[in-house]
Chain A
Amino acid sequence: MNPKEYKYTKEHEWVRPESGNRCKVGITSYAQHQLGDIVFLELPAPETQVKQFEKMGEIESVKAVSDLFSPVTGKVLETNGAAIDKPELVNEDPYGKGWLARIELGRISEVDSLMNSDEYDRLVAGLGEQPSE
């Protein structure tokens, strides 16, 4: 299931708040399942300024290349090198080892306005899919 302590977007990204205005972001289990086997990640370089709901990278799966949107506004601190080397981590463990970027939040209030896990569970259920496998 989708972790309780995370926040979610309609575009199936998650945000995990950390201490000191920082957060980790990634894509949800539903997203990785829809994409299928992920084979390549293009993530923003550290120091890049990203804007909420705007494109920050690309995810290539065996099916398609999809845009990756940033769930928050802020500055990219680092990206997950392990996932870039082994994109299958995003399929295997989307909420853990498959995280994508750590971002320093520009506007903390943005995180509060995202969906909580109950709301996101309902969104995914409404799409007629099993939330995760």
Chain B
Amino acid sequence: MSRRYELPDISQPGKVGYSLPTLDMPAAELPPAEMLRSDLALPEVSEAELVRYFTHLSKLNYGIDTGFYPLGSCTMKYNPKWHEDVARLPGFASIHPFQPAGSVQGALRLMFELQAYLAEITGMDGVSLAPLAGAQGELASILMVKAYHRKDSARSKILVPDSAHGTNPATGTMGGFEVVSVPSDDKGDVDLGKLESIMDENVAALTLTLPNTLGLFDTRIGKISQLVHDKGALLCGDGANLNSLVGKARFGDMGFDCVQLNLHKTFSTPHGGGGPGSGPVCARAVLTEFLPSPVVAKDGEEYRLASPASSIGILGAAYGNFGVMVRAYAYIRTLGAAGLREVSENAVINANYLKEKLKPYYHLPYDRPCMHEIVFSGKRQKTQGVRALDIAKRLLDFGFHPPTVYFPIIVDEAIMVEPTESESKATLDSFIDAMKQIAREAEENPEMLHSAPHHTPVRRLDEAKAARQPDLRWRMGNDKERAGTA
């Protein structure tokens, strides 16, 4: 059965998927009748039907192991299967956070060496692997900024360019700061004139996503760093887009005081529903005493957990998402310095290839070399009555995961494509062909796009209704009621 179905569709009263052995103990008494219910409707199916149902559901999944997944900003690249073997080694998978350090020296050594690799890659002096995800790494950065300025209470503002990740302003607010937005200029870079006029002694830090969410590298980063530091403020990096810079440019060399990394993205771990994140924070010497706890130190030949002198404290249970650290370590060791440089080169080349091939068909708001991702605007198609969402939905018919749409918000009808370094030219070409055909359809047959997707197990979902009237509780039969009212 290729059509999508639900268990109640095949339920028959009296069918069971289990057989219990004869009771060889005295039966326990049931709770009082008023505490029991008899009206709980559950689907009744055999074991084989249940297995087929779940197998059927599993075939509806779409992931990076199924096909191209150019979801901008998310770095959905291939995750080597060998990493999974390594992360499952008993010495990594079966240890306990509170085991004596002497009995987990291998795990601590891995953390110690990973700290050193990340310090080398970012050009920073110290690293804590503790943050559990990118946004928590950002929070660690901002709390470190706060600790650094602890004697200067006038520093109440965090500046964030309008091309930043959405988490950047949220993080500043979480840290107790007032967040001030810095506009971009017409090239997509930070507007230096505006920055200069906003920069004063009340600014604690500027948080810069580099490359920014337009996929652009701000070439005046040296000047930005100078403007920020001249006023005694700090420069924080959002390193979530590091897969375009590894082995090419280092945050420390560019004047950043701290930066968080997204190991699950740049250093390859299944993420976005596939697993947890890890957001190490890397700092220059001025901030290392504030790094979150723990960090791994080495005394002679002995590795141990330590807390930096004025640490902002712990950020979660145990020592961070260790399994992601193992995979990142495996990735770095497998590829080596030359391989990591190639990762960045391929990420950037792939995005620029898509940019050049698609720019005759889709408006390109910032026509200049991009880094690991490229942001088009569906502006031209909008005049034909087709929205970015329609383009995204139509791509599903071609078997592709759609790009990110409507982000960054500074681009009208944004279509944000991140091909990643994993993809071959053949895959990119088939995506380009699909995008060209969709641009043609927008001109000749917009209805084809308005009614897309056509070949998926479910058609277009009513996202507005789902948000306005969320139905979070499944009860047998109520999906039929819903179908009746839809």
Q: Is A40 an interface residue (CB 8 A)?
A: yes
The answer to whether A39 touches B464, judged by C-beta atoms less than 8 angstroms apart, is yes
In the complex, which residues of chain A have a beta carbon less than 8 angstroms from the beta carbon of B3? none
In the complex, which residues of chain B have a beta carbon less than 8 angstroms from the beta carbon of A38? 464
Q: Which of A37, A64, A87, A128 contacts B463 (CB 8 A)?
A: A37
Chain A contact-residue range equals 10 to 19
Q: State A62–B464 Cα separation when bound (angstroms).
A: 6
Q: Is B398 an interface residue (CB 8 A)?
A: no
The answer to whether A39 touches B468, judged by C-beta atoms less than 8 angstroms apart, is yes
The answer to whether A88 touches B406, judged by C-beta atoms less than 8 angstroms apart, is no
Q: Is B467 an interface residue (CB 8 A)?
A: yes
The A interface, classified by DSSP as helix, strand, loop or mixed, is loop
In the complex, which residues of chain A have a beta carbon less than 8 angstroms from the beta carbon of B407? 64
The answer to whether B464 touches A40, judged by C-beta atoms less than 8 angstroms apart, is no
In the complex, which residues of chain B have a beta carbon less than 8 angstroms from the beta carbon of A37? 463-464, 467
**Which B residues between 364 and 380 are near A, CB-CB below 8 angstroms?**
379
Q: Is A107 an interface residue (CB 8 A)?
A: no
Cβ of A97 to closest chain B Cβ, rounded Å: 16
In the complex, which residues of chain B have a beta carbon less than 8 angstroms from the beta carbon of A128? 379
The answer to whether B409 touches A62, judged by C-beta atoms less than 8 angstroms apart, is no
The answer to whether A64 touches B464, judged by C-beta atoms less than 8 angstroms apart, is no
The answer to whether B464 touches A88, judged by C-beta atoms less than 8 angstroms apart, is yes
Q: State A62–B463 Cα separation when bound (angstroms).
A: 7
In the complex, which residues of chain A have a beta carbon less than 8 angstroms from the beta carbon of B467? 37, 39-40, 60, 62
Q: State A86–B409 Cα separation when bound (angstroms).
A: 25
Q: State A37–B462 Cα separation when bound (angstroms).
A: 10
Q: Is A10 an interface residue (CB 8 A)?
A: no
Query: Taking CB as reference atom, which chain B residue is nearest A60?
Result: B467
Q: State A64–B406 Cα separation when bound (angstroms).
A: 8
In the complex, which residues of chain B have a beta carbon less than 8 angstroms from the beta carbon of A62? 463-464, 467
Q: State A86–B406 Cα separation when bound (angstroms).
A: 24
Q: State A86–B464 Cα separation when bound (angstroms).
A: 11
In the complex, which residues of chain A have a beta carbon less than 8 angstroms from the beta carbon of B468? 39-40, 86-88
In the complex, which residues of chain B have a beta carbon less than 8 angstroms from the beta carbon of A64? 406-407, 409
**Which A residues between 88 and 102 are near B, CB-CB below 8 angstroms?**
88
Q: State A64–B379 Cα separation when bound (angstroms).
A: 18
Q: State A70–B379 Cα separation when bound (angstroms).
A: 29
Q: State A52–B396 Cα separation when bound (angstroms).
A: 44
Against A, the Cβ 8 Å flags (1 = close, 0 = not) of B449-475 are 000000000000001100110000000
In the complex, which residues of chain A have a beta carbon less than 8 angstroms from the beta carbon of B409? 64
Cβ of B405 to closest chain A Cβ, rounded Å: 8
Q: State A60–B406 Cα separation when bound (angstroms).
A: 14
In the complex, which residues of chain A have a beta carbon less than 8 angstroms from the beta carbon of B463? 37, 62
Query: Taking CB as reference atom, which chain B residue is nearest A86?
Result: B468
Q: State A93–B387 Cα separation when bound (angstroms).
A: 22
Query: Taking CB as reference atom, which chain B residue is nearest A64?
Result: B409
The answer to whether A63 touches B464, judged by C-beta atoms less than 8 angstroms apart, is no
Cβ of B384 to closest chain A Cβ, rounded Å: 13
Q: Which of A39, A40, A63, A87 contacts B406 (CB 8 A)?
A: A63
Cβ of A42 to closest chain B Cβ, rounded Å: 14
Query: Taking CB as reference atom, which chain B residue is nearest A34?
Result: B412
Query: Taking CB as reference atom, which chain B residue is nearest A40?
Result: B467
Cβ of B27 to closest chain A Cβ, rounded Å: 51
Q: State A84–B468 Cα separation when bound (angstroms).
A: 10
**Which B residues between 385 and 407 are near A, CB-CB below 8 angstroms?**
406-407
Against B, the Cβ 8 Å flags (1 = close, 0 = not) of A54-66 are 0000001011100
Q: State A88–B407 Cα separation when bound (angstroms).
A: 22
In the complex, which residues of chain A have a beta carbon less than 8 angstroms from the beta carbon of B464? 37-39, 62, 88
Q: State A123–B468 Cα separation when bound (angstroms).
A: 31
Q: State A64–B405 Cα separation when bound (angstroms).
A: 11
Query: Taking CB as reference atom, which chain B residue is nearest A91?
Result: B464
Those 10 A-B pairs whose CB atoms lie nearest each other, nearest first: A37-B464, A39-B467, A63-B406, A62-B463, A39-B468, A62-B464, A39-B464, A64-B409, A62-B467, A87-B468
**Listed A/B pairs (10) with beta-carbon separation below 8 Å:** A37-B463, A37-B467, A39-B467, A39-B468, A40-B468, A64-B407, A86-B468, A88-B464, A88-B468, A128-B379
Question: Assuming A38-B464, A39-B467, A40-B467, what are 13 further A-B pairs, CB within 8 angstroms?
Answer: A37-B463, A37-B464, A37-B467, A39-B464, A40-B468, A62-B464, A63-B406, A64-B406, A64-B407, A86-B468, A87-B468, A88-B464, A128-B379
Interface residues of B (CB under 8 A from A): 379, 406-407, 409, 463-464, 467-468
